[in-house]
Chains A and B, each alone.
Chain A
Amino acid sequence: MVDAVTRQKLFGTPEIHFLNCTKGWKSWAFTLDHKRIGIMYLIGVTIALFLAGIFALVLRSHLFKFDSKMLSDDMYNQMFTLHGAVMVFSFIIPSIPAALGNLVLPMMLGAKDVAFPRLNLASFYLWIIGTGCLLLAILSGRGLDTGWTFYTPYSIDTNTGVIYATFGAFVLGFSSIFTGLNFLVTVNTMRLKGQGWFKLPLFLWSLYATAIIQVLATPVLGITLLMLIAEKTMHIGIFDAKYGGDPVLFQHFFWFYSHPAVYIMILPAMGVISELISVYSQKRIFGYSFIAFSSVAIALLGFLVWGHHMFTSGQSQVVTLIFSAITFTVAIPSAVKVFNWLATLYKGSILLNTPMCYALSFIFLFGIGGLTGLFLGALSTDIHLHDTYFVVAHFHFVMVGGTLTALLGGLFHWWPKFFGRMYNDLLGRVGCFLVFSGFNLTFFPQFVMGSRGMPRRYASYDPEFLPFHQLSTIGAFVLGIGILISFIVLVYAAFKGPRCGSNPFRAASLEWQSSSPPDFHNFVHSPVLNDPYDFDSQVYDDELDTYISREFADPTKVPPRTEPVHH
């Protein structure tokens, strides 16, 4: 029980917090604070997003005109390669885990930091070095034209900066491993006393599952890229058919990482959505344990399905059959999550603010992305659709419609927590609407083109595809504008938005028990353990104009519980 003065001290807007407790560039560059590292990561991935987004817009502009001469074939190939490589390695993979995860994960555990703060900072600097190496491929003047998959033997034959780029991806891999390792250890050893596994927010379950993949799959990518570098410099003959090697082996190695990597990209997004849906419905998440275990199931099954990228590669037919069968099993846990989210909405108190709009967009877009996966998991249809625009549309629906949408939703959700200021919700929703509609306009026509036989990575196309390409290009610009508006809304809010209390959305997970912005040590007072989905544990405090835990509230004003406490 605390008095009003202490309440103000704990939950009021602090004068000194993690953003301003120390000043100067060194206090950021050498910080070990997970929140500052998270923000630096956020800035980094945003730059990567804009860079790769510009590449995408250049591509789409080129394709707007039939038989376009805007880019040469070579330039086009370099553009889509850099778009893919930067988006995948520098943006999507670190986006939610490293940026949002770093900000939120220790606080959700009531911890002061991650287990290895120095490793955490190292991970960020490796990200910078890795991204720098990727971009060095451009700066070296030779570009990169292999596609983000670096398939051999073309990647061995080409004169472009494959070595820079693969080394960059190698370093980024270690950045990702360090983050994953840190998160695994942190969740295992640094939970608040009494915080059992089933008292963890689902975002942590998904980050944990993601971290398992990061730790187990990324090293294989690392060694593969090293072998590719050795192949390119010394021609060791492992992947190059000219020297008796096997190019398909490279594909196996590559997808052994890169398929699980798809789940590195989508699992954290699903975790974010679980949080948002439940907070903005003010309802306990439906089927907690099913959602939790479905994350782990997806992570583990994700290791067994890499061969579905290779149905037409010449791998044996029996292997192909097995991979197809296992692929379908991944659909179940994904579907379970969607159904549980819908059930959470049922009889909730649904607030359609910006983060919730993003969460609902996620269900819509991920629904399409997931369902179109069925076409690609089935063998005979995949033979036709493999490496066409259908695939391009499918994975963009999952990666952009899923991950990017969830990232934006998560940012709008946690932004007030980390900056202590509220954004303009109307503009936020406008941005969300533009992102949603622009995205659909961009990628839905690509399904049609794909099943009609438009191959991906083509700098030119047959005339009958023109209308679809034009729709797609218009959509891409709408999407770009939507992201830009969201960006402006968030940045403006961080500096000029109205002050908000410690818990404006009545969320119950532990991070909301800190002040906004949080203290350097995260919590001024050790947080009180409570169920992350027991929203009734948070009560409104009119002096602070925000929600606080019952334990801290003025006992004379606390309303009675509406639901019994769960155990």
Chain B
Amino acid sequence: MNWQIPLMLAQSTDNLEELRKRTAAISLDGTTVPDSALVRDGTSNPFSTEYWFPTQASSFAAEVDFLYMAVFWISLVFFVAIVGVMIYFCIKYRRKGDVIAPQPSPSHNTAIEILWSVLPSILLVWIFYVGAESYFDMRIPREDAEEIHVTAKQFAWIFTYPDGDQTAELHLVRDRPAKLILQSEDVLHSFFVPAFRQKMDVVPGRYTYAYVNPTQSGQYRLSCNEYCGTGHSKMKTMCEVHDTVDDRKNNTKWIKADHQPWENGKRTYQIQCSGCHKVNGEKATGPALNLIWGIDEKLMTGQTVKVDEQYILDSIWEPAKDVVDGFGPVTKMNSFKGILNQNDVNDIIAYLKKLKEESPAQ
């Protein structure tokens, strides 16, 4: 049984730089997102906060963990008491032989009933109060919070920063509070970063928001937490907390003119397409794209069509037209007309050609 291997995996990634490279390679295309929040000490002691939780990376994470551990101890005391008493009675008063002889004992006692109704109630009120208090810390954004737009769609995230940059991962700055304005293009999703203890549903037709004040730099897993369809479990990305605003800018800015067309295409792919199309040869919600260029694709209708510029443009603008065999009968893809213009498509085509060239399978 290789139970220890994954733990080693998680712990061997001390080097943040290395982790970042792996993340870039895996999180957008593959399935795993290593999370620096999980590299913690004390994970072997099940009575510690560290055992139950990832890193506390937001201003309110400690409050949540405190309440959790408080309830944990209250529950533990009650549970041990209940089960202890139960086992003790079962041993002490177990029936011996065939003789049924319960000892006389009262079957009713109003005082004790009221006692064990009221005492737990007091604890419950306290739990409710602490929970509500920290809830408002989680829900009420600081006045100076920057606003970042988060668009969720099947099965990817797009983050838009105040200066107009767009990325496929969320980049935040340490100690700089952010109000994430959530919107959905299709169905319900949910924004969830365990290291922040923050979660909010993304509801089509209305705006919701999530507030976070990151207190610790690092890379954390961000996942969709509301079931949204076939690729739900692939709708994960990364939330990186930087030390300075400049660091963040280095990661989010993208000047097209500074890059080759295929690089621009790769970036567009990562933001817009990677939720459903992989470039590692794996079939996901849509076909893999790494070897697609130039081949004869078999369609639902039984026809074959050559993957050329026209086919790519059609597939992006009118996905319902040529559905690839095995992905129908009705395509799950929405039209990107109006989202991607012809130049964007040209960049993507350049990227597809590049992928094909670099493919070892050639």
Contacts and interface: CB of A to CB of B under 8 A. Distances in A.
A and B touch in the complex (CB under 8 A): yes
Interface of A: 66-67, 73-74, 76-77, 145-147, 151, 153-154, 157-159, 241-242, 244-248, 281-290, 312-314, 317, 320-321, 324-325, 328-329, 331-332, 335-336, 338-340, 342-343, 345-352, 360, 363-364, 367-368, 371-372, 374-375, 377-384, 386-388, 448, 451-453, 455-467, 470, 506, 533, 535, 562-563
Contacts of B245: none
B330 interface: yes
Contact of B233 (A339, A457, A533): A457
A347 B93 contact: yes
A352 B200 contact: no
A363 B139 CA distance: 37
Contacts of A381: 64, 67-68, 71, 131
A382 B60 CA distance: 14
8 contacts: A242-B205, A331-B120, A336-B117, A347-B104, A351-B94, A379-B132, A448-B51, A453-B192
Given A347-B102, A383-B64, A464 B79 contact: no
Contact of B124 (A286, A290, A332, A451): A332
B121 interface: yes
B128 A325 contact: yes
Contact of A348 (B67, B93, B229): B93
Given A154-B228, A346-B89, A371-B78, A248 B203 contact: yes
Nearest to A290: B113
Given A153-B204, A383-B197, A378 B130 contact: yes
Contacts of A325: 128
A380 B200 contact: no
Contacts of B5: 463, 466
Interface string B193-216: 011011111011110100000000
A342 B197 contact: no
Contacts of B71: 374-375, 378, 381
Contacts, number: 300
A156 B280 CA distance: 32
A331 B194 CA distance: 27
B83 A367 contact: yes
A19 to B, nearest CB: 30
A154 B227 contact: yes
B141 to A, nearest CB: 12
Nearest to B61: A384
Given A317-B139, A378-B127, A384-B197, 18 more contacts: A73-B232, A77-B229, A153-B187, A325-B128, A328-B127, A331-B124, A335-B120, A342-B89, A345-B89, A345-B93, A347-B104, A349-B100, A360-B86, A374-B74, A380-B135, A457-B232, A462-B221, A563-B104
4 pairs of A and B residues whose beta carbons are closest in the complex: A453-B194, A241-B205, A378-B131, A379-B135
Residue of A74, A349, A448 with highest tally of chain B CB at under 10 A: A349
A382 B231 CA distance: 25
Interface string B92-122: 0111000111111111110011001100110
Interface string B128-170: 1011111111110000000000000000000000000000000
Interface of B: 1-7, 9-10, 31-35, 38, 51-54, 60, 63-64, 67-68, 71-72, 74-75, 78-79, 82-83, 85-86, 89-90, 93-95, 99-109, 112-113, 116-117, 120-121, 124-125, 127-128, 130-139, 186-188, 190, 192, 194-195, 197-201, 203-206, 208, 221, 223-234, 284-285, 329-330
A372 B54 CA distance: 19
B328 to A, nearest CB: 10
Contacts of A451: 52-53, 68
A563 B100 CA distance: 14
Given A288-B107, A378-B131, A470-B3, A386 B188 contact: no
Contacts of A364: 83, 86
B102 A281 contact: yes
Given A380-B67, A381-B67, A384-B197, A346 B105 contact: yes
Given A378-B130, A458-B233, A464-B7, A386 B225 contact: yes
A462 B23 CA distance: 13
A467 B6 contact: yes
A371 B120 CA distance: 12
A312 B135 contact: no
A459 B155 CA distance: 14
A531 B115 CA distance: 27
Contacts of B52: 448, 451-452
A77 B227 CA distance: 9
Contacts of B103: 347
Contacts of B130: 378, 380
B287 to A, nearest CB: 14
Contact of B93 (A349, A386, A459, A467): A349
Contact of A506 (B78, B100, B234): B100
Given A312-B190, A336-B117, A345-B86, A324 B227 contact: no
Residue of B107, B206, B224 with highest tally of chain A CB at under 10 A: B107
A73 B221 CA distance: 20
A155 to B, nearest CB: 9
A67 to B, nearest CB: 6
Given A151-B188, A455-B223, A336 B113 contact: yes
Given A241-B205, A246-B205, A312-B200, A350 B94 contact: yes
A342 B93 contact: no
Contacts of B72: 375
Contacts of A159: 329-330
A364 to B, nearest CB: 6
A287 B224 CA distance: 47
Contacts of B226: 151, 387
Contacts of A351: 94-95
A146 B113 CA distance: 44
Contacts of A157: 186-187, 229
Contacts of A340: 113
A342 B82 contact: yes
Given A153-B186, A154-B188, A451-B53, A350 B93 contact: yes
B224 A342 contact: no
B47 to A, nearest CB: 12
Contact of A247 (B3, B82, B116, B188): B188
A380 B10 CA distance: 28
Contact of B230 (A145, A343, A346, A387): A145
A464 to B, nearest CB: 5
Contacts of A374: 71, 74-75, 124, 127
Nearest to A75: B230
Contact of A314 (B4, B93, B102, B206): B206
Nearest to B37: A453
B94 A352 contact: yes
A469 to B, nearest CB: 10
A368 B79 CA distance: 7
Contacts of A345: 86, 89-90, 93
B75 A372 contact: yes
Nearest to A155: B187
A321 B136 CA distance: 10
B225 to A, nearest CB: 5
A281 B93 CA distance: 9
B195 to A, nearest CB: 8
B93 A77 contact: no
